[in-house]
């Protein structure tokens, strides 16, 4: 049986008249990577801040390992906030030890763990440097180490890849998957869909404080059916503009992902494409997360009216 | 209520990081140096610049007053050989800086002497001239009346007054000279409230603007972070005072010989040393204890105010408006400090010194001058502790919301709203 690690139950948080999180319920299972998605201002960061007990919900309850969140559950989490921050004038080693000890590690255990992680990120020589002297990318790594070094069971990453170059993004992705195989539960907030598609097992989609979609990522995609076309071609792509009842994503000179709407005929589109260009590839696919995201949110909008 | 381990870690960090900072080392060294310079400089200036003293020409119709004034102080006065019209022209063309006219009527108790100058003579000069003329006129007139030497001696006699405070227990202490110590303490505390308050404000603001506060807040209660910071900085302040007290005592003992050395051969070294000698009047240990106690309580009160402001802003230039009420609270007692030192038992002094925001500066001043009744000291300490508890509670409510609010400059209305949020 898979244990439930995180449980939101009818959680609401209000700032003034505005509901930042509105009656949200969902669960996160052990050992999974859980993606929290949504546009800016959808309530992702507020939800995370409540999970880390920085904010307290107005109503509803949040449980971590079956325990209401509070000072005790704070020790079980590692939190990488969206807005990164370290003490600028403190040395990397001292700072990491301080942050580990605030989460209950002994000095020796903290030192041991930090040695391992600095080595893992090939950053051992930074230990005596002040954070100020490091580049942005290096600071990001140090902050990531600060999040994982006390070996928490549940990790919360808010936009972990923002500001990382491709090489470091790859390294971080590797580490996140490593953590998952080590049995950690990972809570992952972002608005970058391709990362979610690559990493997440389950997702929760937020819009304007409400949870609008929740479940297993592949189940959700399957439920949409193969209602999109991936088309590769050479020639003039102007014919795409004249197609009706479609939405075109990821359009480029030789490539387009075409979402079929209102029962548009895929074969008719193929014929149209052949008329104007040389078709090099044609495939019916499940919609991308980007598409599901837009679809769900636009449905929300129409139901609002 | 607190996680002791976490609180200790925070205090340790706040204290050690600052203790090792350049800022701390520089202020710790510079403050006493500046203090010594301030004490020593006037003496130095006086000794070194005596031959540049202005000499005023005196046109004297009585013939005797000017002569006597010049005899007694040839550095300040000379007898004029020109008439008033010429003197006036010299003054207007800038050849002289001033002149004095003495009509013969002054010796009959009528008429007025007059001092003309180019505006460069200050209050000290004017009052010196007035008192010199008065003294010479008096002596000439007494002389003409054939006053006996005994009467002259009586007239010139000075009576010195010793100042003793007698407590209920019957102890007596010479308190005359200690008002100055109280005032110095008051001013040090005044400076410390600003200095350490600003440290707290910056520290809170930096944690917020570097966003490190969110990481910390996911591990400790904001209140623990706030208290750790306040206690850590308070310990820093005590450390600094301790360093100053020890090195200050050493330096003060060395100040006399030091001046003598600077003044060099031209001046009588013994005289210069005497001029520069700074004696610490003996004051009871109670005053020192109260100094530390009132500094601490004052710091706690003001640091909770500064922390609230720091949590509302992201850069220091935004703090101006929010700091105004705090600055006023610190400055008000300085306006009254002389009054309180002069009339330490007046109702106004008692009431002002017992208002918790003013006590840190005014109470040590009163305690150094008189022995303040115990109920007033105890009552004040109690009031200050209560004020601190209320303020730190209110401030922590502003703080825990403020540290997560980015992008907009908070107004007083905003702070009020945060304070009432659950």
Cα–Cα distance for residue pair A77/B217, rounded to 1 Å: 12
* Contact check, Cβ <8 Å, A86/B212: yes
What does the pLDDT average to over B347-366?
91
* Contact check, Cβ <8 Å, A87/B3: no
Is a pLDDT exceeding 70 seen at residue B17?
Answer: yes
Mutate to test the interface with B, among A102, A157, A158 (most CBs of B within 10 A): A102
Going by the DSSP 8-state scheme, the letter that residue A130 receives in this structure is B
* Contact check, Cβ <8 Å, A89/B211: no
Q: Please report the pLDDT score of residue B263 as a whole number.
A: 53
Written in H, E and C, the secondary structure of A171-235 is HHHHHHHHHHHCCCEEEEEECCHHHHHHHCCEEEEEECCEEEEEEEHHHHHHHHCCCEEEEEEEE
Per the model's pLDDT, the better-predicted residue between B413 and B58 turns out to be: B58
Q: Which residue of chain A has the CA closest to B414?
A: A16
Give how far Cα B178 sits from Cα of A177, B173, B184, B244, B280, Å.
72, 10, 10, 19, 8
Residues B70 and B129 in one domain: yes
A74: nearest CB among B21, B214, B218: B218
Q: Please report the pLDDT score of residue B333 as a whole number.
A: 92
What does the pLDDT average to over B145-149?
81
Is a pLDDT exceeding 60 seen at residue B174?
Answer: no
Lowest average pLDDT, out of A207-211, B100-104, B366-370, goes to B366-370
* Contact check, Cβ <8 Å, B217/A54: yes
Residues B98 and B233 in one domain: no
Q: How many CA atoms within 13 Å lie on the side-chain side of A237?
A: 13
* Contact check, Cβ <8 Å, A102/B9: yes
Assess if residue B44 is contained within a domain.
Answer: no
The 10s digit of each residue's pLDDT in A175-207 is 999 999 998 999 888 888 878 888 889 999 898
Within 8 A by CB and 6+ apart from A99, the residues are A146, A149, A150, B215, B216, B219
Q: Can you tell me the ipTM of this complex?
A: 0.80
Cβ-based neighbour number of residue A269 at 10 Å: 21
The 10s digit of each residue's pLDDT in A117-151 is 999 888 888 889 998 898 888 888 899 999 999 99
What value does the mean pLDDT of chain A take?
86
**Does residue B304 contact residue B230 with C-beta atoms inside 8 Å?**
yes
Residues B134 and B190 in one domain: no
Cα–Cα distance for residue pair B180/B186, rounded to 1 Å: 10
Residues B228 and B293 in one domain: yes
Within 8 A by CB and 6+ apart from A54, the residues are B214, B217, B218, B404
| B-chain residues near A88 (CB < 8 A) | 206, 210
**Does residue B257 contact residue B269 with C-beta atoms inside 8 Å?**
no
A289 three-class SS: helix
In what helix (H) or strand (E) does residue A267 lie, and over which residues does it extend? helix A266-276
* Contact check, Cβ <8 Å, A87/B210: yes
What value does the mean pLDDT of chain B take?
81
A98: nearest CB among B13, B210, B221: B13
**Does residue A179 contact residue A186 with C-beta atoms inside 8 Å?**
yes
Beta-carbon contacts below 8 Å between A and B: 63
Q: Which residue of chain A has the CA closest to B401?
A: A55
Q: Please report the pLDDT score of residue A109 as a whole number.
A: 93
Residues B141 and B265 in one domain: no
Assess if residue B74 is contained within a domain.
Answer: yes
Most confident of B57-61, B142-146, B185-189, B302-306: B302-306
Residues B183 and B297 in one domain: yes
**Does residue A77 contact residue A64 with C-beta atoms inside 8 Å?**
yes
In angstroms, what separates the C-alpha of A179 from chain B's closest C-alpha? 20
Cα–Cα distance for residue pair B304/A229, rounded to 1 Å: 63
φ and ψ at residue B115, rounded to 5 degrees:
-120, 115
* Contact check, Cβ <8 Å, A102/B212: no
Instruction: Place B1 in a pLDDT band, splitting at 50, 70 and 90.
Output: low
In angstroms, what separates the C-alpha of B318 from chain A's closest C-alpha? 21
| B-chain residues near A89 (CB < 8 A) | 17, 21
Structure tokens at B40: 């020593």
* Contact check, Cβ <8 Å, A85/B219: no
| A-chain residues near B199 (CB < 8 A) | none
The 10s digit of each residue's pLDDT in B86-128 is 888 888 887 888 888 888 888 888 888 888 887 777 677 788 8
* Contact check, Cβ <8 Å, A87/B21: no
Assess if residue B48 is contained within a domain.
Answer: no
Q: Please report the pLDDT score of residue B384 as a whole number.
A: 95
Q: Please report the pLDDT score of residue B136 as a whole number.
A: 86
A123 three-class SS: coil
Q: What percent of chain B has pLDDT over 70?
A: 84
Is a pLDDT exceeding 70 seen at residue B171?
Answer: no
* Contact check, Cβ <8 Å, B214/A83: yes
Interface of B with A (CB under 8 A): 3, 5-6, 9-10, 13, 17, 21, 206-207, 210-221, 404, 406
| A-chain residues near B397 (CB < 8 A) | none
B215: nearest CB among A53, A81, A104: A81
For residue B144, give the CATH number of its domain. 3.40.190.10
Cα–Cα distance for residue pair B392/B399, rounded to 1 Å: 10
Cα–Cα distance for residue pair B161/B177, rounded to 1 Å: 12
Assess if residue B255 is contained within a domain.
Answer: yes
| B-chain residues near A101 (CB < 8 A) | 9
Q: Please report the pLDDT score of residue B260 as a whole number.
A: 60
Per the model's pLDDT, the better-predicted residue between B409 and B23 turns out to be: B23
The 10s digit of each residue's pLDDT in B370-399 is 888 889 999 999 999 999 999 998 888 888
Residues B264 and B357 in one domain: yes
Lowest average pLDDT, out of A77-81, A245-249, B194-198, goes to A245-249
> Number of structural domains, chain B?
2
Q: Which of B154, B187, B216 is the last residue of a domain?
A: B154
| A-chain residues near B406 (CB < 8 A) | 83
Structure tokens at B298: 């004052």
Q: Please report the pLDDT score of residue B265 as a whole number.
A: 46
Closest CA to B185 of B364, B377, B331, B367: B364
The 10s digit of each residue's pLDDT in B233-270 is 999 999 998 888 887 677 667 766 666 666 554 444 44
Assess if residue B286 is contained within a domain.
Answer: yes
Q: Please report the pLDDT score of residue B254 as a whole number.
A: 73
Q: Domain range for residue B354?
A: 4-33+174-420
A207 at B interface, C-beta within 8 A: no
Q: Please report the pLDDT score of residue B7 as a whole number.
A: 92
> Domains along chain A?
4-216 (3.40.50.300), 226-285 (3.30.70)
Q: How many CA atoms within 13 Å lie on the side-chain side of A161?
A: 22
Is a pLDDT exceeding 90 seen at residue A264?
Answer: no
Q: Please report the pLDDT score of residue B163 as a whole number.
A: 63
In angstroms, what separates the C-alpha of B311 from chain A's closest C-alpha? 15
Residues B19 and B59 in one domain: no
| A-chain residues near B202 (CB < 8 A) | none
| A-chain residues near B220 (CB < 8 A) | 74, 102
In what helix (H) or strand (E) does residue A24 lie, and over which residues does it extend? strand A18-29
What does the pLDDT average to over B148-175?
68
Is a pLDDT exceeding 60 seen at residue B42?
Answer: yes
Assess if residue B41 is contained within a domain.
Answer: no
A85: nearest CB among B9, B17, B214: B214
What does the pLDDT average to over A31-53?
89
Assess if residue B166 is contained within a domain.
Answer: no
Q: Please report the pLDDT score of residue B50 as a whole number.
A: 47
Cα–Cα distance for residue pair A143/A159, rounded to 1 Å: 13
A146: nearest CB among B211, B215, B220: B215
Written in H, E and C, the secondary structure of A25-77 is EEEEECCCEEEEECCCCCCHHHHHHHHCCCCCCCEEEEEECCEECCHHHHCCE
Per the model's pLDDT, the better-predicted residue between B277 and B72 turns out to be: B72
Sign of CA dihedral B272, B273, B274, B275: positive
Instruction: Place B276 in a pLDDT band, splitting at 50, 70 and 90.
Output: very low
A71: nearest CB among B9, B221, B404: B221
Residues B370 and B338 in one domain: yes
Structure tokens at A34: 């859980």
Mutate to test the interface with A, among B214, B217, B400, B414 (most CBs of A within 10 A): B214
Residues B215 and B252 in one domain: yes
Assess if residue B38 is contained within a domain.
Answer: no
A90 at B interface, C-beta within 8 A: yes
């Amino acid at each position: 049986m898979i244990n439930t690690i995180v449980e939101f139950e009818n959680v609401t948080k209000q700032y003034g008249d505005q509901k930042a999180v509105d009656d949200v319920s969902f669960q996160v299972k052990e050992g999974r990577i859980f993606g929290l998605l949504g546009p800016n201002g959808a309530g992702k960061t507020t939800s995370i801040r409540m999970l880390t007990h920085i904010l307290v919900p107005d109503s509803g309850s949040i449980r971590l390992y079956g325990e209401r969140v509070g000072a005790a559950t704070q020790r079980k989490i590692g939190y990488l906030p969206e807005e990164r921050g370290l003490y600028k004038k403190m040395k990397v080693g001292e700072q990491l030890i301080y942050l580990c000890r605030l989460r209950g590690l002994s000095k020796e255990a903290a030192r041991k763990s930090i040695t391992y992680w600095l080595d893992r990120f090939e950053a051992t020589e930074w230990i005596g440097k002040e954070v100020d002297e490091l580049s942005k990318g290096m600071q990001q790594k140090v902050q990531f180490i600060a999040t994982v070094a006390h070996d928490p069971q549940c990790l919360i990453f808010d936009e972990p890849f923002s500001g990382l170059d491709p090489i470091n993004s790859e390294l971080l992705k590797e580490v996140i998957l490593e953590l998952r195989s080590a049995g950690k539960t990972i809570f992952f907030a972002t608005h970058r869909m391709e990362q979610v598609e690559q990493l997440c097992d389950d997702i929760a989609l937020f819009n304007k404080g409400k949870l609008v979609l929740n479940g297993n990522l592949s189940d959700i995609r399957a439920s949409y059916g193969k209602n999109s076309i991936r088309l590769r071609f050479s020639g003039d792509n102007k014919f795409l503009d004249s197609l009706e009842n479609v939405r075109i994503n990821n359009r480029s000179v030789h490539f387009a992902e075409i979402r079929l709407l209102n029962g548009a005929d895929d074969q008719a589109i193929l014929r149209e494409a052949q008329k104007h260009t040389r078709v090099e590839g044609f495939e019916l696919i499940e919609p991308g997360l980007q598409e599901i995201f837009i679809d769900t949110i636009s449905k929300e909008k129409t139901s609002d009216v | 209520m607190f996680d002791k381990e976490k609180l200790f870690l925070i205090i340790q960090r706040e204290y050690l990081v600052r203790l090792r900072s350049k800022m701390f080392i520089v202020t710790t060294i510079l403050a006493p140096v500046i203090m010594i310079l301030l004490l020593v400089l006037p003496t130095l200036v006086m000794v070194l610049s005596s031959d540049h003293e202005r000499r005023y020409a005196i046109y004297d119709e009585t013939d005797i007053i000017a002569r006597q004034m010049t005899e007694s102080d040839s550095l300040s006065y000379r007898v004029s050989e020109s008439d008033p019209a010429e003197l006036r022209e010299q003054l207007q063309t800038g050849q002289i800086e001033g002149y004095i006219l003495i009509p013969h009527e002054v010796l009959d108790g009528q008429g007025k002497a007059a001092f003309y100058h180019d505006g460069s003579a200050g209050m000290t000069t004017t009052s010196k001239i007035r008192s010199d003329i008065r003294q010479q006129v008096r002596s000439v007139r007494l002389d003409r009346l054939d006053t006996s030497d005994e009467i002259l001696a009586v007239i010139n006699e000075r009576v010195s007054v010793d100042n003793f405070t007698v407590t209920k227990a019957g102890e007596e202490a010479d308190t005359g000279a200690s008002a100055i110590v109280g005032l110095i303490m008051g001013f040090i505390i005044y400076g410390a409230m600003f200095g350490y308050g600003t440290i707290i404000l910056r520290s809170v603001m930096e944690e917020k603007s570097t966003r490190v506060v969110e990481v910390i807040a996911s591990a400790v209660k904001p209140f623990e972070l706030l208290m750790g910071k306040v206690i850590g900085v308070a310990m820093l302040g005590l450390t600094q005072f301790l360093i100053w007290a020890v090195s200050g005592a050493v330096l003060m003992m060395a100040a006399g010989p030091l001046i003598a050395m600077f003044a060099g051969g031209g001046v009588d070294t013994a005289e210069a040393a005497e001029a520069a000698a700074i004696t610490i009047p003996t004051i009871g240990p109670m005053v020192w204890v109260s100094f530390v106690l009132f500094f601490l309580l004052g710091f706690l009160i003001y640091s909770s105010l500064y922390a609230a402001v720091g949590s509302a802003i992201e850069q220091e230039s935004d703090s101006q408006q929010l700091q105004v009420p705090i600055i006023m609270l610190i400055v008000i007692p300085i306006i009254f400090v002389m009054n309180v030192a002069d009339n330490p038992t007046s109702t106004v002094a008692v009431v002002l010194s017992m208002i918790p925001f003013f006590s840190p500066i005014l109470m040590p001043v009163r305690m150094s001058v008189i022995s303040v009744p115990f109920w007033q000291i105890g009552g004040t300490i109690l009031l200050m502790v209560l004020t601190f508890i209320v303020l730190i509670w209110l401030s922590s409510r502003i703080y825990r919301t403020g540290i997560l609010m980015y992008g907009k400059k908070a107004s007083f209305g905003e702070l009020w709203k945060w304070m009432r949020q659950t």
